[in-house]
């Protein structure tokens, strides 16, 4: 009986450990994806600003004609 309880404790610990490790792995993936999304947004914003600057200069030049 005591041996069965010990084996059950080990099994529960294995399940808990596996769950925690999986949770850590998923959290790390979410952090990476979040950083990747933020970096992509920064690049897109920088590209938009450059595009808008050139477009603004083009309009100024076109209006002057």
Q: Look at residue 54 in the predicted model and tell me its pLDDT.
A: 73
Give per-10-residue mean pLDDT for the chain (65 aa): 64 80 92 87 83 70 67
How far does Cα 36 stand from its chain's mean position?
Answer: 5
Q: How far apart are CA 9 and CA 23, in angstroms?
A: 21
Q: How far apart are CA 58 and CA 24, in angstroms?
A: 51
Q: Look at residue 10 in the predicted model and tell me its pLDDT.
A: 67
Q: How far apart are CA 26 and CA 52, in angstroms?
A: 38
Classify 1 as helix, strand or coil. Answer: coil
Q: Look at residue 2 in the predicted model and tell me its pLDDT.
A: 64
């Amino acid at each position: 009986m005591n041996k069965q309880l010990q084996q059950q404790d080990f099994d529960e610990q294995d399940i808990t450990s596996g769950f925690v490790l999986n949770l850590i792995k998923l959290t790390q993936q979410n952090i990476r994806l979040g950083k990747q999304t933020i970096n992509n947004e920064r690049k897109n914003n920088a590209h938009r600003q450059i595009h808008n600057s050139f477009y603004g200069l083009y309009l100024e030049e076109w209006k002057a004609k």
